[in-house]
Amino acid sequence: HSLLRFPTGRIGVAAVTAGPGVTNTVTAVKNAQMAESPVLLIGGAAASLQKGRGALQDIDQLSLFRTLCKACVSVRAVRDIVPALRKAIATAQSGTPGPVFVELPIDILYPFHVVEKEIGGTKSGRGLRGKVVQWYLRNYLHNLFAGAWDHRDVSPLPVQVPLATDDEVSFGGTQSPWIGAFGVSVEGEWALWQERD
């Protein structure tokens, strides 16, 4: 990481699988935090319906990254994917840049018919209990995909390049910000250079 940072308006993006894929990024995310680098980490997750029920690779990923990231969010519906990613990118680049984490459960990443088949939303349940379960699953599926086909704003995000304040670029006064690197102030280097000519 260089002493001087020149914002490029770009953000690093990594997409990893749930569980071990996410946990293996902890060191890289900490480095991004310390380097004030804007990074969007997209992590897979167990299906929302199976969260906290012992599903494969189901861990509390948000808690893992709360102290490392500027923001952590788990997307709960297909319609929220684009807005969540746009907000995450803006957050990563705003103020002091840094990493953000967006968790995308597997059931919001697959097409409707695949998720419907997987949760059994078209089967008819037996008895009152079966009918209640089927009603719950159909309602869950409906909420998961409600608004998924509505138009979303996908225009480029504005790039805001922070500008240095007058105090940060001023060389006036008795103390130069460049003293220390080579033991000589910028003014001293300028004087030595002028004498050589």
Q: Has residue 88 got a pLDDT over 80?
A: yes
Q: Which of 51-55, 67-71, 94-98, 138-142 has the lowest mean pLDDT?
A: 51-55
Question: Any idea where the domains of the chain sit in the sequence?
Answer: 12-109, 111-148
Q: For 93-121, what is the mean pLDDT?
A: 83
Task: Specify the pLDDT at position 57.
Answer: 61
Which pLDDT score is estimated for 30?
94
Options 3.40.50.150, 3.40.50.970, 1.20.1250.20, 3.40.50.2300; CATH for 12-109 is 3.40.50.970
Distance, C-alpha 103 to centroid of its chain: 8
- Is the CB of residue 71 less than 8 Å from the CB of residue 40? no
Longest Cα–Cα distance in the chain: 97
Asked whether the whole model's pTM tops 0.85, one would answer: no
